[in-house]
Amino acid sequence: MKRTASFEQATGFRPGRVRARVESLLASCGIDVDGPDGWDIQVHHEEFFSRVLADGSLGLGESYMEGWWDVRDLDGFIFRLLANHAEERVATWRNACAWLIATFTNLQRRSRAFEVGTRHYDLGNEFYEAMLDSRMIYSCAYWKDADTLDQAQEAKLALTLGKLALRPAQRVLDVGCGWGGALKYAAEKYGITGVGVTVSQQQAAYARRNCADLPVAIRLQDYRDMREKFDHAFSIGMFEHVGVRNYRRYMRVIRRCLHPGARFLLHTIGGFKSTNHTDPWIHRYIFPNSMIPSREQIEHAIEGIFRVAGWQAIGEHYERTLLAWRANMERSWSRLGGYDQRFRRMWSYYLSASAAAFRAKKLDVWQVLLEPVA
């Protein structure tokens, strides 16, 4: 392959040296090539080694999608890489390029707002129905007193919306409403009226059917176009698509939509280091133009706009959620149509890698309760 030849020419490494370097890196993480343990990688393609050194996380994910390697315990394998900071020891030009692009380009500008809807959330409602709980909640569940995914997601909604002290007839905004499950829960439990916005056509169509008998309106709309007034607002798992260049504008938009005395509940994945882009593999195959905010970035974004009334971390519950989604997908795979084995491996890799990231404490989930600054 061209990438292999160019990498070897650029580094001066011979194939044996390339393999030895990757094997040494894996061994430092407790992983053996063709070893007996569940997390030991089984390599089927010799060019895997040079591809990983050349392309880092992108090469690792793509080569798995293409069947170049297998492992029985996929999340266990990736956990060992992350726990031993392997990604920091294989920095590639792609990471530098991603940083530069995000520095000089607003990847989440208005003209690109619907791209993640088209490429990710519009994959098919049948697929997400097979993977998610009965309410179609696509964010971290809350397993404290739950035994099933349905129970854990209902507990998460109770935890989240309970912080807003909702009352009957109040008007509530859901920014990034998904398939409408949270708004439906709020309308049925608290008697609110609501508006949900999403950038996914299939989500919007499903949510309208889901909330058809409730005082809930679902709109295919970018958050920047919201100008109405609400008693409260919440956003569950959408802030990861906003981008650091847009955080303060996002907060100003939410603020202008709130009546005096309102509250805003932000539920988001959070990272412990500030960055301006996401992992190259995630960007290309899962969430285009996404990025995980840091606490520092959130605090800067709300300065002078909101004050923090509460900050709860629940990231310990996301690993179990992701593995439950993976189990549901695998259990339902035989009856799903329109998806090939490459997609199946891609999705399994995404869910497994995400679970590993939470197990390795690389990521967290924050529920941030915000009140407008007078």
We report the CATH number of the domain holding residue 186 as 3.40.50.150
* Same-domain pairing of 83 and 10: yes
The reply to whether 235 and 163 lie within a common domain is yes
70 and 132 both lie in a single domain = no
Residue 6: predicted pLDDT: 47
C-alpha span between 340 and 351 (Å, rounded): 17
- What's residue 374's pLDDT? 81
pTM: 0.90
Q: Give a yes or no: residue 275 inside a domain.
A: yes
> Residue 373, SS3?
coil
Whether residue 368 is contained in a domain is answered as: yes
Residue 101 lies in a domain: no
d(CA 287, CA 280): 10
Counting the structural domains of the chain, the total is: 2
Determine, yes or no, domain membership for 293. yes
| 87/114 same-domain check | no
- Asked if residue 341 and residue 252 are part of one domain, the reply reads yes
Q: Which domain range does residue 87 map to?
A: 2-91
pLDDT of 54 reads 87
- Claim to verify: residue 191 and residue 263 sit in the same structural domain: yes
Give the pLDDT of residue 100.
Answer: 42
Confidence (pLDDT) at 112: 61
User: Do 203 and 60 have their domain in common?
Assistant: no
Any domain includes 341? yes
Report d(CA 64, CA 153) in Å as an integer.
31
Per the CB < 8 A criterion, the answer to whether 161 and 187 are in contact is no
Same domain? For 30 and 172 the reply is: no
Residues of the chain with pLDDT under 50: 1-7, 9-12, 93, 98-104
Other Cβ atoms less than 10 A from the Cβ of 186: the count is 26
